[in-house]
Amino acid sequence: MAGVNGDAGGADDAPAPAEASVALDGVGKTYGGDGEEGSVRALDDVSFSVADGEFVCLVGPSGCGKTTLFRIVAGLIEATDGRVLLDGTPVTGPTTEMGVVFQEYHLFPWLTVEENVGFGLERSDRSPVERERRVDEMLDLVGLTEFRDAYPKSLSGGMKQRVAIARSLAVDPNLLLMDEPFGAVDAQTREMLQRELLDVWASTGKTVLFVTHDVAEAVTLADRIVVMAAEPGRVREIVDVDAERPRERGDPTFAEYVGRVRELIGAGP
Ligand SMILES: Nc1ncnc2c1ncn2[C@@H]1O[C@H](COP(=O)(O)OP(=O)(O)OP(=O)(O)O)[C@@H](O)[C@H]1O
């Protein structure tokens, strides 16, 4: 795993590390024409990488460009400057190499749990038997086997998000990209989903880039936390969370990490 990388975000011409699963290289984004009235410099020279199998959380104050960065990595919008590499290849649009999970679940209401989980596999070259087996595995992984015939409307928020996670993992992506995935559920469910996600991560070895507002969530989950600053959005510091999992919220080390990250977020421009 990579260590603390306090200078990330600066102009860094060094090539992305060979083992990087995702590498952001001088990424900038201006909404509206550069220099035009009303244009917004949402991101400026953002560089960091996520190693293969690493769990990285992205935190920062409102408006620091987390969503913008997420969309650029996902290939949903284009960067104005710089590039994103996924396993060394530039991202030019959405790809099945990434599983994307949003706060709002984005399930298909007319499909059952099973059909939602299998949706991405429809276009894969797996045989129907292999697809079915994969869906079974994913339902088992997120504990929803007995709800396979249910429709999303009958599920709780936590269950819907488990379906979304299972669906994103079904196509076996190299990278799991998550934008506030637990933002819409109650605190208790959120902590349960965090534990489940860590179990899934440990058993699948996926690379995860996870955006959150919640500093305690980031400290619970991450190997490293990329702390962003606003106006323009940039990397303030990358904090290495050097603590065994599972991490207890009552633990003094946990509180120290939370305090440190909060301080960085609140440090102003
Ligand atoms: N489509 C857009 N057009 C113009 N400006 C935009 C657009 N999307 C975002 N912005 C601006 O870019 C900046 C970064 O926004 P972004 O939503 O990426 O930040 P964020 O960190 O995700 O914010 P929040 O935590 O409040 O969701 C903000 O100043 C925002 O107003």
Residue 178 has pLDDT above 80, yes or no: yes
Pocket test for ligand 1, best of 27, 58, 64 (most atoms within 8 A of CB): 64
**Mean pLDDT score, 203-210:** 93
Fold of 1-94+222-269: Rossmann fold (3.40.50)
Q: Quote the pTM value.
A: 0.89
How much distance in Å is there from the Cα of 64 to the middle of ligand 1? 7
Each residue's pLDDT tens digit, 64-121: 999 999 999 999 999 999 999 999 999 999 988 899 998 888 899 999 999 999 998 8
pLDDT at 75: 96
Nearest CA to ligand 1 atom 14: 65
pLDDT at 15: 54
Q: For residues 256 and 183, what is the distance between their CA atoms, to the nearest angstrom?
A: 23
1: nearest Cα among 216, 249, 237, 207: 207
Nearest CA to ligand 1 atom 26: 62
Per domain, the residue ranges of the chain are: 1-94+222-269
How much distance in Å is there from the Cα of 166 to the middle of ligand 1? 28
Nearest CA to ligand 1 atom 30: 63
